[in-house]
Amino acid sequence: MQVANITIFSERSRAVRKAQRTPLSIFIDIVRFVVRKIAERRNRNALLELSDDQLKDIGLSRGQAGSDVHIYSRY
């Protein structure tokens, strides 16, 4: 029988890890955030270029294509 090695971090260890962040890790997090936002904007612009019929085919309306609501909900 195999036993899975699972590590559960306590709140204290998370706080210690956060306190030890280096300027490089902060810079990398900022770059990742900016890259993610650029990708989201590119995807949103691509959706806005679609016609109403194309949006209907993928289950979105024109209003949903311009907002982030459709990412979290299919209603």
pLDDT, tens digit (0-9, with 9 covering 90-100), for 48-64: 888 989 988 988 888 77
How far is residue 47 from each of residues 35, 58, 65, 67, 72, measured CA to CA in Å? Answer: 19, 10, 6, 10, 16
- C-alpha span between 32 and 25 (Å, rounded): 10
Residue 3, pLDDT > 80, answer no
Structure token digits, residue 41: 């904007």
Looking at every residue in the chain, the average pLDDT score rounds to 77
3-state helix, strand, coil in the chain (%, to 5): 65, 0, 35
In the predicted model, what is the mean pLDDT of residues 3-32? Answer: 76
Residue 1 has pLDDT above 90, yes or no: no
Whether 17 has a pLDDT exceeding 80, the answer reads: no
